[in-house]
Amino acid sequence: MESTNLIEGEGSNKKKSTEKVIDIDGNIYQTIEIGGKIWTVENLKTTKYNDGTDIPLVTAHLEW
Domain boundaries, the chain: 3-63
CA-based nearest residue to 46, from 38, 34, 54, 58: 54
At 15 the pLDDT is 74
Q: Is the pTM of this model over 0.75?
A: no
Check pLDDT > 60 for residue 5.
Answer: no
3-state secondary structure the chain: CCEEEECCCCCCCEEEEEEEEECCCCCEEEEEEECCEEEECCCCCCCECCCCCECCCCCCHHHC
Helix, strand or coil for residue 61?
helix
pLDDT tens for residues 10-30? Answer: 455 677 777 889 999 999 999
